[in-house]
Chains A and B, each alone.
Chain A
């Protein structure tokens, strides 16, 4: 009769998964990835918003026609419209301009509605008229020349190429981006620090087993690889749960932002690649954990034994 094969289950030499530092590491990485995902989503959204602004602003400009000061409202309106037509003539004859359209009464009413409320007749108010000018792709406009030509046609026109407020917004957005990147750096440092200390604690807990492994001829690398593998698994698990909480939070913030009117925030969308970056955070945290644990073990064992 043939002998039944004996089933031999192999246990890990270092029972790292079950030691007391594991849960702490998972929670730390989970929190880090949660914060990381939200901040990263913010940075990427700000970035896309900046790109959108740049594209749209570089391709457009606004010409403002000051209202006539005539006491008679009807005459004043007619004079303002006449000035607007002269400006339009100049603009439409320029090679760099693709399209020049005055804002309709309805559009103007919508613009002043937040200040003056509903039911305002734009016709009776001495407010400036606005021409929205779309430039041809890659057009290089000489703004001084444009301003001169418009001044020749009508003294009531002024050009706004949006550069002033755009620069302010870009500076503000750059500041936000820098702040977000600082948070990201801080989160990475805290995660690495947590892994460093949990690994050191765990090395202390398993000092006896490690000393036996050394006596059996194990190199530091043998121990370091086990820690690297364990940290990568724990960090991935922690990171996965962090992301599970982070994603709905990002959607929540995004839907709140969508409700803000004005069209600025709505341009802050995330591309497919942005989402891929955010979703890959648990893998990134696993890699950081693996590298940190590996070198912590190598460095600590040098000093310890």
Chain B
């Protein structure tokens, strides 16, 4: 129970920080939309290819933009003695992990909705298979944020954290990229039954990282 109340405290603080700093609004969202626009320019001569590649392009844009949000989540804790203050606070490390995961997940969900609108407008994609699409977004967001928060604390204490986090995280998230892309392809092509196994796979991925984060975040934070 203490772990959950600590998680809520951390998530509220992180989201308040984002609302005040507007980093997500002013940098992450414009970056994500820019990525979509560049893909559209690059593939526009072949409209069919753009339509076919839409699920993959969408999730690549989510991953790249999500990396910025995850880096930001830990850079605010690296400033001016805050890491020591967190260690001294008495907050449960598992609560800190879950809180930061929740905060990153909320930011990713907002980003994904906006990117979804962008895809529909820029790529002319007609949205079908709503249930599978929503399930994929929820489960993939959980998978990205649980793994991203765990790897974020690994890189947090290092001087090279800005470049190290993508190197560590992108290979780990490859199964999520594949699964979410396949699930989206199935939803958009009207064959949702082919997408649900991928949702299941990503659920297992997220569950594994939640457990790893709850038990591993404390020792990792100690070393950061």
B and A form one assembly: no
